[in-house]
């Protein structure tokens, strides 16, 4: 399922003296099965952009096409459910959306809204809770008795249980411990490998380098780059000008470059760097 | 929310913006009181012209004032209709059962209409030009004499400013939670009554949970910074009267004098 933005503009509180531009002339295409990262400093329009993916916001100008659904400023608020089922959205600090008496009922809430029977929804809930790495006995617990990290996982399970084709993640690992972060990122990578389209908003350049195929850079409501992570991180000065950083590996490679190492292209992942260093340092191979 | 102009501050640096919030608060209440002095066309005309002369001083678009009428439009229309149909006296134009359309009714309705619109314009002027925290400061300052009878002025003022401070935060949280539940297939504001009431649960429970969490965090943060009670504390925003406030006093005196002279 492709997602296409065509000259999308969005103005907050349009028609009042408090009007503020959220998006301006944004055009891009995300193909089905892509893993796309969206980066940009705070207030650059990332979250505004995300909310267009499932019509929580409708473009003031231009069109958004998700699969065969076309959304314009005139689209009615009725009948958006099929779209919202296809595009699952994990918000920032998603644990704050939990409300049910048990984890099972909370995770089953989404599927039930989309017309799945209760038994089926509970089955999906059990599956999804297992997917996010929680033990089955949490199903009957209150979500409010869990730790913050576990609550986040329950919220993510609640979105997975909707069986979306597109998974939109708004800083899903913010505030998690390092292990939780790694496990969540691995889970998303696995879901991507299974064919889901993933859209990830993040401030972690390492995640962009390690997981994404494509990257969109937002600045002041405009799309300023639509490229691949390998391409993006060749340009450290441009990134700094847009208040963004480099992955740890690329940063390290740059310091090495200043001390005389040669790189045709700056590596963005650890394994790339290791391969290049092995080549240049020579030395014995330890099997 | 875009319709609820009451309680929305528009930043600016006009004469009215710079007035002491206590002056604005007292002047608004005083104005509402003296509106009731007007009782004939001349006095209402005088009052309306004076009000329309004061409003541009705030340098806020007049549209905001008109929009301030929207939330109470129903009340105004209802009151005016009651006046038109239930006041008797003067020449009767039309009569049906309990309903009477008379000249006294029409005149009374017009007076009431002008009165309500002027009162709302003036209170909108107060809320458009005064941040709610300044209003809380003004209330605290004006309540101070009550401390003599052991009224907990600083505590009440603190509660008031905390409550005001969290209105935007809670609104923000509400829209976030609504979006999150919409993304999970909830349709707010559609379907039958039962369905609509049911859709409140996934909104309110997360809101209560986060409100309690925020209250807890705030209490911890205040204690960590040594908060005990409000007595003897110095202020960041110090209120003091200026020349503008004196001018406001004069304007209010002139208004009162004018109304007293013009009324019958």
Query: Complex ipTM, two decimals?
Result: 0.87
Specify if A280 maps to a domain.
no
Minimal C-alpha gap between A51 and chain B (Å): 9
Please determine, for residue B181, whether its predicted confidence score (pLDDT) is greater than 50: yes
Residues B205-230 as b or e (16 or more Cβ within 10 Å = b): bbbebbeeeeeeeeeeeeeeeeeeee
Question: Do B187 and B59 reside in the same domain of the chain?
Answer: no
Tell me how far apart the alpha carbons of residues B19 and B9 are, in angstroms, rounded to a whole number: 14
Task: Count up the domains in chain B and report the number.
Answer: 2
Question: Do B109 and B50 reside in the same domain of the chain?
Answer: yes
pTM above 0.80, yes or no: no
CB atoms within 10 A of CB A66: 22
Question: Do B50 and B84 reside in the same domain of the chain?
Answer: yes
Specify if A228 maps to a domain.
yes
Cβ distance of B184 and A109 shorter than 8 Å: yes
The pLDDT value recorded for residue A287 is: 54
Specify if A284 maps to a domain.
no
B5 → chain A, closest CA residue: A16
The β-bridge relationship of strands A166-170 and A197-201 is parallel
**The length of chain A, given as a count of residues:** 287
Specify if A37 maps to a domain.
yes
Structure tokens at B31: 């104005």
The pLDDT value recorded for residue B234 is: 77
Catalytic residues of A: 171
Specify if A61 maps to a domain.
yes
Q: pLDDT tens for residues A103-138?
A: 999 999 999 999 999 999 999 999 999 999 999 999
Minimal C-alpha gap between A136 and chain B (Å): 22
Query: Considering only CB atoms, which residues of chain A are within 8 Å of chain B?
Result: 13, 16-17, 51, 54, 56, 78, 81, 84-85, 87-89, 91, 94, 96-99, 109-110, 113-114, 144, 158-159, 162
Tell me how far apart the alpha carbons of residues A95 and B245 are, in angstroms, rounded to a whole number: 50
Please determine, for residue B3, whether its predicted confidence score (pLDDT) is greater than 70: no
Tell me how far apart the alpha carbons of residues A111 and A118 are, in angstroms, rounded to a whole number: 9
* Mean pLDDT computed over every residue of chain B: 86
Q: Which domain holds residue B42?
A: 15-130+245-262
Tell me how far apart the alpha carbons of residues A56 and A66 are, in angstroms, rounded to a whole number: 13
Task: Count up the domains in chain A and report the number.
Answer: 1
Specify if B232 maps to a domain.
no
* Mean pLDDT computed over every residue of chain A: 91
Cβ distance of B2 and A13 shorter than 8 Å: yes
The β-bridge relationship of strands B99-102 and B92-96 is antiparallel
Q: pLDDT tens for residues A195-239?
A: 999 999 999 999 999 999 999 999 999 999 999 999 999 988 899
CA atoms within 13 A on the CB side of A97: 30
Q: Which domain holds residue A240?
A: 3-246
The CATH number for A90's domain is: 3.40.50.300
Mean pLDDT calculated for residue range B48-71? 89
Cβ contacts of A144 on chain B, cutoff 8 Å: 209
Question: Do B43 and B172 reside in the same domain of the chain?
Answer: no
Question: Do B37 and B124 reside in the same domain of the chain?
Answer: yes
Selecting from A85, A87, A91 the residue whose C-beta is nearest the C-beta of B179 gives A91
Q: pLDDT tens for residues B221-255?
A: 998 988 877 667 777 878 888 888 999 999 999 99
The pLDDT value recorded for residue B183 is: 93
Specify if A271 maps to a domain.
no
DSSP string, B44-99: HHHHHHHHHHHGGGG---HHHHHHHHGGGHHHHHHHHHHHHHH---S-EEEEETTE
Please determine, for residue B5, whether its predicted confidence score (pLDDT) is greater than 60: no
Q: pLDDT tens for residues A4-35?
A: 999 999 998 776 666 788 899 999 999 999 99
The pLDDT value recorded for residue A17 is: 63
């Amino acid at each position: 399922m492709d997602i296409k933005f065509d000259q999308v503009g969005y103005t907050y509180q349009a028609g009042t003296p408090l009007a503020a531009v959220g998006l301006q002339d944004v055009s891009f295409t995300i193909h089905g099965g892509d893993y796309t990262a969206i980066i940009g400093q705070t207030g650059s329009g990332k979250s505004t952009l995300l909310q267009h993916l499932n019509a929580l916001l409708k473009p003031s100008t231009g069109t958004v096409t998700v699969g065969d659904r076309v959304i314009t400023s005139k689209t009615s608020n009725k009948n958006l459910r099929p779209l919202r089922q296809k595009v699952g959205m994990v918000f920032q600090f998603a644990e704050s959306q939990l409300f049910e008496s048990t984890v099972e009922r909370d995770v089953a809430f989404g599927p039930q809204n989309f017309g799945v029977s209760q038994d089926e929804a509970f089955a999906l809930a059990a599956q999804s809770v297992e997917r996010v790495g929680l033990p089955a006995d949490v199903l009957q617990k209150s979500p409010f008795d869990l730790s913050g990290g576990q609550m986040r996982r329950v919220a993510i399970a609640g979105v997975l249980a909707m069986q979306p084709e597109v998974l939109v993640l708004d800083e899903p690992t913010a505030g998690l411990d390092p292990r939780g972060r790694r496990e969540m990122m691995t889970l998303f990578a696995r879901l991507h490998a299974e064919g889901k389209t993933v859209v990830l908003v993040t401030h972690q350049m390492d995640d962009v380098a390690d997981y994404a195929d494509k990257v969109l850079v937002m600045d002041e409501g405009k799309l300023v780059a639509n490229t691949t992570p390998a391409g993006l991180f060749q340009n450290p000065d441009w990134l700094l000008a847009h208040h963004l950083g480099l992955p740890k590996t690329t940063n390290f490679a740059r310091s090495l470059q200043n001390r005389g190492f040669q790189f045709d292209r700056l590596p963005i992942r650890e394994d790339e760097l290791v391969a290049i260093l092995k080549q240049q340092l020579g030395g014995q191979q330890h099997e | 929310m875009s319709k609820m102009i009451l309680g929305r501050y528009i930043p600016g640096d006009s004469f009215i913006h710079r007035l002491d919030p206590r002056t604005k608060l007292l002047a608004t209440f005083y104005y509402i009181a003296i509106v009731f002095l007007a009782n004939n066309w001349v006095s209402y005309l005088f009052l309306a012209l004076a009000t329309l002369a004061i409003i541009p001083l705030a340098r806020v678009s007049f549209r905001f004032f008109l929009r301030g009428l929207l939330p109470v439009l129903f009340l105004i229309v209802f009151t005016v209709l009651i006046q038109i149909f239930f006041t008797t006296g003067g020449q009767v134009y039309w009569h049906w059962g309990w309903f009477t359309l008379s000249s006294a009714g029409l005149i009374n309705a017009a007076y009431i209409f002008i009165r309500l619109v002027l009162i709302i314009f003036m209170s909108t002027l107060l809320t458009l030009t005064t941040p709610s925290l300044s209003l809380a400061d003004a209330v605290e300052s004006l309540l101070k004499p009550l401390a003599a009878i052991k009224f907990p002025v600083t505590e009440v003022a603190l509660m008031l400013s905390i409550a005001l401070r969290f209105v935007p935060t809670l609104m923000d949280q509400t829209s976030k939670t609504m979006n999150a539940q919409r993304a999970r297939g909830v349709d707010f504001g559609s379907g039958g009554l039962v369905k609509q009431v049911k859709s409140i649960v996934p909104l309110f429970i997360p809101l209560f949970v986060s409100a309690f969490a925020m209250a807890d965090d705030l209490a911890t943060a205040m204690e960590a910074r040594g908060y005990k009670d409000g007595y003897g504390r110095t202020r960041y925003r110090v209120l003091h009267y200026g020349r503008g406030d004196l001018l406001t006093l004069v304007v209010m005196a002139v208004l009162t004098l004018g109304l007293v002279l013009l009324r019958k």
